Amino acid sequence: MFEVLVYVYENYWRGDACPELQQLGRKLSAHGFEPDEIHDALVWLDGLNLAAESTTLWPEGFDTTPEPSSTHHQAATSLRVYSVAEQDHLGAECLGFITFLETAGVLPAPMREIVVDRAMAAPVGPVSLDELKIIVLMVYWRVGEEPDALVLDELCDASQGRLPH
C-alpha cells in the first residue's frame, strides 16, 4: 500500500489535483500495481479525505488560551495521551517522531490527529518510521500544505548513513 501512496504523492501535485478514487484506481492498475495494494490504498485515501474534510486546521479566531469544555480545539498547554492500542501500533520510535514534529512546530494538533488516525488505519502493524513519514507527507499533501524544506528533508531523506556532527 505504501508504494501506491508514494506514487500518488509523486504524481499529483496536491490532494485536490488527484482524480476521483475510482479513476485513480484505474490509473494505478494501468501502472501495474497489484489489485490488493490498490484497494488498500484507495480505502486509506478515502479515510484521509474524510478526516481532512472534517478537521479544521486553523479555526478562525483560534487562540491558545484554555477555553470552556464546549470547544474541541487543543490548547497549547494540552497534553496528548496515546492509548495502549496506539502505542502498540505506532511504537516508541514513531511516537517520538510525532512528538519531535510537534515540538518543532511543524505538526499542529489537528494534523497530528489525522496522522495518528491514518497510521492506525494502516492495514499492517506496527507502523515503521518510514511508513509514518509517508503518512505525514500524505497528510500535508491532502491538506494542501507544503512542509518547509528542513521538514521535507527529514521526511524524505533516509536517516541511515547520516553521520552525527
The model's pLDDT over 112-136, given as tens digits with 9 standing for 90+, comes to 999 999 999 998 779 999 999 999 9
Contact 115, 136 (CB under 8 A): yes
> Looking at residues 133-160, what average pLDDT do you find?
81
Closest of 68, 51, 70, 48 to residue 1, by C-alpha: 48
pTM of the model: 0.81
- What pLDDT, on the 0 to 100 scale, is given for residue 152? 77
> Looking at residues 100-107, what average pLDDT do you find?
90
Closest of 1, 2, 4, 3 to residue 28, by C-alpha: 4
Contact 44, 110 (CB under 8 A): no
pLDDT over 70, % of the chain: 81
Residue 17 has pLDDT above 90, yes or no: no
Burial grade of 109 (CB within 10 A; 0-12, 13-18, 19 or more): middle
